[in-house]
Amino acid sequence: MTMKLNQQPVELGFDRPLSSNNALVDDKLGRKSFAQAAVNALGRVGSTDGFVLSIEGAWGSGKTSTLAMMQALLEAQHQAPIIVHFNPWLVGDRDALLRHFLSKITSEIKVTDHAEDGKKLARELKSYAKVFDIIKFVPGAEPWATLVKTVMEASGDAAGSVADYKTPDIEAKKGKVEKALRNYKRPIMVFIDDIDRLFPTEVFEMVRIIKAVGDLPNVGYILAWDPTYVINALDSANVPHAAHYLDKIVQVRLPLPSISFEARGNLINEALLRLHPDASFPHFPNGEERLQRLYFSGLREMFEQPRDFARVFNTIAVLEPALRGEVVLADIIGFAAIMVKAPLVYELLIKEPRWFVGALPSDHGFVKSEDILKDGAIEREVVFNKCSNPNAVRKLVHQLFPLTADSKSFVIDRILDFEGHIAAPSRLLVALQLHTSGEDVSFVLARRYMMHADQRDEITKQLTQNNCINFVECLGDIAESTGASGIEDIEQLCVDIGRMIDTEPFIMNSKNRAGFFNLPAEDVAFRAICSLIRAAAPSSGSAIAERIIKEPRALTVAMEIFTNSFLRDNSNHEHVLCLADSKRRLTAVLAKNVLDAVNSGRLLSLPNPGFLLWGLSKVAKEKCPRIFEALRLVDSTLDEFAVAILKTSFDSTKGQRYSLPNDRSKIEAYCPLDKLKEHAEIRLADNALELPALAAWRSVVEEKSFYGVDGSLARG
């Protein structure tokens, strides 16, 4: 079956049972020996007795395929028996089950055997079956007086016909059938499947029929059912000691063997090969090792029945295209197994994702992951224990989500979002949504950004202020995990990252900063550039750093690199620092680029203009007055200048604070403090002045710290 998802065909596998003509060849579960043992047991069928054998297993365990293998083995015998298939589920009429059952045997004998004995047996069975066109009667199941309770509404001859069928007549007809069966040369094997699809009352009727005719000589009955369902059905029919009741009817009960681990591995490998070819592409490092780890940590045990493979991998075939490149294939498989085989766990995962991964990105660090995970421990155990295989589900969940494991569980506790692990909160949210939202980082877009220079501007436009910082961080993570393989323009890529920071949505992200733990964009970009250079071009770090500083459209990252190179002791990133003898030359270049940005009206719209102004006050103090005058020409109020340069700390109470820096020289490099205070008093006299500029100018006049959100005094 083919479905369309995102314009890509998705191949779904059908859960078809084997047929008798291919069952032995296509047996992938190694059950031929089991089928042969069952056929050997049917050798007890003889001219004096019948024989009832049951093949027992849960729904989807392969009972029908096992019957097909048994039929193939029976048909290969020197004197093959007559094979009769009866499916009570297809009858649909509880009161007609016995009539249809006998008629099915009759018709099969008539078709298969044209000899006189066969014809005679068919006539006797047909005559016996005709009784049940008129009365509801299951011979031998109960005393005659309680069985013939009602007569089918009829009139005329039909009513007379009912009266003709006295108890001795029916017993006589059954005796003739038994005699004909004893004289018949070939055994008859009746396969009865899908009993566990019937309604409970129909199950009861079918069991009574088998009890009634099970002693007919020369007939073997092979039943396929889920014993738990059948016993519950008999319980609902008020049959006492239902489990023992079956033992009285069935001579040999054979539970299907479990699937061997070797067969499970083979079936999973075959299912993987049926996925779309792009699914197996190594989108993430260590993907194969991850799948092997999950396989031996509960995944293989969760495939309990043959039908489980079709159900789980059909789910994978639908999920994988939507998650390709965003979540590692191993985790998609584990995720699908939980959806199908542990639905209560999946429901809890949707309802309370924090109970599996800890704090989510939207929590902004205000809650502790260990406390959240501890809160969910009891409920996780409750849903584990309600699964069909609690231990397997528990092991798989612990491996997929290591933070849920206790000290007794052996798990690999690495949680790496850049390796596509759904234990990483960002990847779990993508998996639960089946797409990347405006708050999620797309690893697919990140890789495309790194590999395709012509797509970088378009990809930047797709970012949002909620995911842009994490996107840049992801670039560095991918570089570290993949060694930056496939990147042919590493220098231009680093420059483009620097330029990207000075555009939307990074500008809006900086202006609307809400999280206490959010890193500045320039810091994240510097780390990503360091990772890229370390992975792809460690000997070119200084040259690339100088190129970025010279780039007029990458001012914020240029100042970050300049600061790390000349103003901080930063031995951790020596491979990305500019050479010491280039400081004077690069200072002049950077100051010119900042002045040009002021004159074009662009400087104060950058993500962190205060960072640029403070940096220049340290290394190019002589350039600062000129920059200040240029800013005054662009905006005579200097409101944006004040908001930029007086922005100091950020706290979790009310957010951004504004105050004079402890080192007043950072301000006085641009304007004497007394002159700035005079200007501040003029601005504060303007009743139209709004926050946060109001808070910034008050901090100058009063030399105190104020919150930009409401202008209140910030203490401490």
The pLDDT value recorded for residue 400 is 96
Average pLDDT over residues 163-189: 72
With 70 as the cut, is the pLDDT of residue 570 above it?
no
466 pLDDT more than 90:
no
- Averaged pLDDT of the chain: 85
Confidence of residue 687 (pLDDT cuts 50, 70, 90): very high
Q: How confident is residue 362, by pLDDT bands cut at 50, 70 and 90?
A: confident
Position 413 scores a pLDDT of 66
pLDDT value of residue 132: 53
What distance in Å separates the CA atoms of residue 246 and residue 241, rounded to the nearest whole number?
9
Is residue 514 within 8 Å of 651, Cβ to Cβ?
A: no
pLDDT digit string, tens, across residues 485-496: 778 899 999 999
Mean pLDDT lowest among 125-134, 256-265, 291-300 = 125-134
Provide the pLDDT for residue 90: 59
Among 586, 712, 678, 693, CA closest to 645: 693
Report in angstroms the alpha-carbon separations of 670 from 563, 646, 648. 19, 13, 17
Which residues share a beta bridge with 5? 8
Q: 282 is written with which tokens?
A: 């190594």
Give me the pLDDT at residue 226, please: 94
Exposure letters 105-131 (e unless 16+ CB within 10 A, then b): bbebbbebbeeeebebbbbbbbebbeb
Indicate whether 407 pLDDT > 80. Answer: no
pLDDT of residue 180: 82
pLDDT for 414: 76
What is the model's pLDDT at position 98?
63
Per-residue model confidence (pLDDT) at position 141: 37
* pLDDT in the model for residue 111: 57
Q: Please tell me the predicted confidence (pLDDT) of residue 438.
A: 64
Q: What is the dihedral of CA 701, 703, 709, 713, to 10 degrees?
A: -110
161 pLDDT more than 70: no
Burial class (CB in 10 A: 0-12, 13-18, 19+), 664: exposed
pLDDT at 628: 96
Number of Cβ atoms within 10 Å of the Cβ of 596: 14
303 secondary structure, DSSP code: -
Provide the pLDDT for residue 109.
65
pLDDT value of position 602: 95
Q: How far apart are CA 96 and CA 600, in angstroms?
A: 92
Q: Is pLDDT at 156 greater than 90 in this prediction?
A: no
What separation in angstroms does the CA of 587 have from each of 300, 550, 616? Answer: 62, 10, 8
Is 412's pLDDT higher than 50? yes
- pLDDT tens digit sequence for 364-394: 666 788 899 999 999 999 999 999 999 999 9
The residue that leads in pLDDT, 88 or 53, is: 53
Reported confidence tier of residue 78, pLDDT bands at 50, 70, 90: confident
Classify strands 82-86 and 2-5 as parallel, antiparallel or unpaired.
unpaired
pLDDT band at 6 (very low <50, low <70, confident <90, very high): very low
pLDDT attached to residue 315: 93
Per-residue pLDDT tens over the stretch 200-258: 888 888 888 888 788 888 889 999 999 999 999 999 988 888 888 899 899 999 999 99
> Is-contact 397 390, C-beta < 8 A?
no
Q: Which of 333, 316, 362, 317 is nearest to 422 (CA)?
A: 333
Helices 609-619 and 624-634: crossing angle in degrees, nearest 10, is 150
* Span 256-272, pLDDT tens digits: 999 999 999 999 999 99
User: With 90 as the cut, is the pLDDT of residue 589 above it?
Assistant: yes
Residue 122 CA, chain-centre distance (Å), reads 57
Mean pLDDT across 415-421 = 85
pLDDT in tens, 610-619: 999 999 999 9
In percent, how much of the chain has pLDDT > 90?
A: 57
Q: What is the CA radius of gyration of the chain?
A: 40
Percent of the chain with pLDDT over 70: 83
Evaluate if residue 153 carries a pLDDT over 60. Answer: no
How far is the first Cα of the chain from the last one, in angstroms, to the nearest whole number?
67
- Contact criterion met (CB below 8 Å) for 606 and 507: yes
Distances (CA, A) of 277 to 2, 11, 207, 264, 315: 15, 11, 49, 22, 17
Position 177 pLDDT exceeds 50: yes
The answer on pLDDT for 148 being more than 60 is: no
**For position 642, what pLDDT does the model report?**
96
Q: 643-674: per-residue pLDDT in tens?
A: 999 999 888 778 899 999 999 999 999 999 99
Domains belonging to the chain, first-starting first, are: 32-255 (3.40.50.300), 261-433 (no CATH), 468-634 (no CATH)
Q: Is the pLDDT of residue 166 over 80?
A: no
